[in-house]
Amino acid sequence: MPIARRIAWILSLGLVLVTGGLGIYNGITERSDGGNALQKSVTIGVFLYGVLGLISAYGLFRRRAWSVSTAIAWGLVITYVPAAAIIGYGGEPTPVGSAISASGVTALLALGVIWTAHLVTRGQPEIASTSR
């Protein structure tokens, strides 16, 4: 694997591992904190991107083709949560620009992880082959 691809793989693996661990921890410890429906969706989203992050990290580490799909799901959830958190917990008036920019930055990070997952898993089988 070329050095640039290896660096992208290590950074992406680290990002999904950290967000996965923090997401599960925060999702469990903060599950009773949500007041309204949007705040509860943020807590569920945090837990969900934690689970998807750890699953994606496993697949990315093993260089499995299915990790692209889990990385896409992780990216969608991790892009939703910042905007929903700013709007749900922000109070009045909540600047829409801050919600858009927060989700925009996380979307860029997620695209980097998805791109890396695609690159490092090209040519890998979807499931393990029984032939040797």
pLDDT score recorded for residue 126 = 56
- pLDDT per position as a tens digit, 10-60: 999 999 999 999 999 998 998 877 688 888 999 999 999 999 999 999 999
Written as one letter, the residue type at 21 is G
Using one digit for the tens of pLDDT, what is the confidence trace for 61-109?
999 999 999 999 999 999 999 999 998 888 778 788 888 999 999 999 9
- Residue 82 is predicted with a pLDDT of 94
Q: Which of 11, 42, 23 is nearest to 110 (CA)?
A: 11
For residues 111 and 71, give the distance between their C-alpha atoms in angstroms, rounded to a whole number: 9
Give the Cα separation of 19 and 24 in Å (integer). 8
Task: Report the pLDDT value the prediction gives residue 122, as an integer from 0 to 100.
Answer: 82
Q: What is the C-alpha to C-alpha distance for residues 19 and 39, in angstroms, rounded to an integer?
A: 19
Please report the pLDDT score of residue 24 as a whole number.
95
